[in-house]
Structure 1
């Protein structure tokens, strides 16, 4: 689940295999478990859980699976053993990378992430070394199946969005971080089908990689991070639209 602001390019670049879908189910399930333990099992009063249910459905997680995860987390009296950790580093050619993890073993996850960076021509840095190149924004993704751009623009700004990007398959709606849930609810009430509603890291500048070997290494770094069960999201500023 890696991304930057050019959402459709990253997330629709290739069809997911069954194995990749299984990884996504596992990651979202872990996020749902933590959200329930922190905010309760009712999505009407737990905004984070509500966002994750939308995300799960957009990734074709069956409703029965979602309900089972929520019920199991709500009935489990043990405390939340998962810790949220953010790593920052550089990939090949100085590409800025932010890794968000949810782990029950900090040492294991840190070791894995450091290994991936070292192996594929990057280096893991200190907290703050690249995050200044990104801005956190709410991003609501609407499925675009024959939508009218003027009507979407009108509804988005009425909802409280600060910007939007109309593409063939999706519409990216940008909000202040505190407004993402309000905008999500407004657009849902208007009848739009949402892919996701999350707070994301949007890069202020992008970095190109012209060397083919280094492009392969950067792709491999992102694949290894995405394949790790502890890693929930990967944000980067690689301008890879031509890949």
Structure 2
């Protein structure tokens, strides 16, 4: 059972703070709308929608918001349809970024993403020039409270997972992209409460930053991309060296 790097931990601490800010509701709504648009509004027959709704419920998103997002995806509320799009770019010191977004205005979102990069020591890259540096995986998060590491590992491998990592107060179960739903279903059947279930992009070779100023710039760029209204997910190969974290925390 391996541990994630410290930047990974920071990202997920930040994600929990975003719940309080309410920004996570917007991301959940976009994902629900995309799922409904692609596979219909019935969670019994639309696996992606079921996952999106489960994730929304896990962060206490109100039922009215969930229902409205489904209707948006089905086109029942009017307006432009939500589309899924991804962007690739480089930040300071060549740090790689992948951005998954959902938008009803492709031109606006592309311009906004380009501006965020250009104003923060980065640039948008051509499609495929960054994504090859990442592996696509299924990720399942389960609270570690009351679940021993060896118990989680045994259950996850039995369910068909590839690996289990420990991250602060969560177990992170990794699967192949095609096995995510099946492994999550096995773990639910075994009695585990799943906090989130989604596809992620994991860097093959983390870019370790040992310069505090570069770390600040890269983390600011991440925050701006992640905080953008149309963003669903941001993945990066940024890894901040321990001694730099000590400086940043001082």
Is TM more than 0.5 here? yes
Q: In 1, Cα distance between the equivalents of 2:96 and 2:228?
A: 19
- 2:209 is paired with a residue whose SS is coil
> Structure 2 matches for 1:1-40, cutoff 5 A?
6=5, 7-13=8-14, 16=17, 21-40=21-40
Check the 8 A contact 2:73/2:81 in 1, yes or no.
Answer: no
Match of 2:50 in 1: 50
Q: In 2, Cα distance between the equivalents of 1:195 and 1:231?
A: 20
Count of residue pairs brought into register by the alignment: 238
- 2:208 is paired with a residue whose SS is coil
**TM-score, normalised relative to structure 2:** 0.86
Q: In 2, Cα distance between the equivalents of 1:161 and 1:120?
A: 38
Match of 1:222 in 2: 222
> Structure 2 matches for 1:138-157, cutoff 5 A?
138-157=138-157
- 2:117 is paired with a residue whose SS is helix
**TM-score, normalised relative to structure 1:** 0.89
Structure 2 CA distance for partners of 1:204 and 1:172, relative to 1, 3 Å: same
Match of 1:113 in 2: 113
Q: In 2, Cα distance between the equivalents of 1:63 and 1:77?
A: 17
Q: In 2, Cα distance between the equivalents of 1:184 and 1:96?
A: 29
Match of 2:127 in 1: 127
Structure 2 gaps of 5+ residues are 246-250
Structure number with the bigger relative contact order (C-alpha 8 A, sep ≥ 6) is 1
Q: In 1, Cα distance between the equivalents of 2:16 and 2:130?
A: 30
The alpha-carbon deviation at position 171 of structure 1 amounts to 0.7
- 1:229 is paired with a residue whose SS is coil
Structure 1 gaps of 5+ residues are none
- 1:232 is paired with a residue whose SS is strand
Q: In 2, Cα distance between the equivalents of 1:46 and 1:131?
A: 27
Larger mean CA deviation between 135-144 and 70-79 belongs to 70-79
Check the 8 A contact 1:90/1:97 in 2, yes or no.
Answer: yes
Q: In 1, Cα distance between the equivalents of 2:105 and 2:75?
A: 23
The alpha-carbon deviation at position 41 of structure 1 amounts to 1.9
Q: In 2, Cα distance between the equivalents of 1:190 and 1:59?
A: 22
Check the 8 A contact 2:161/2:174 in 1, yes or no.
Answer: yes
- 2:127 is paired with a residue whose SS is coil
Q: In 1, Cα distance between the equivalents of 2:16 and 2:218?
A: 19
The alpha-carbon deviation at position 74 of structure 1 amounts to 4.9
Check the 8 A contact 1:37/1:80 in 2, yes or no.
Answer: no
Structure 2 CA distance for partners of 1:80 and 1:179, relative to 1, 3 Å: farther
Check the 8 A contact 1:8/1:170 in 2, yes or no.
Answer: no
Match of 2:248 in 1: none
Q: In 1, Cα distance between the equivalents of 2:235 and 2:129?
A: 14
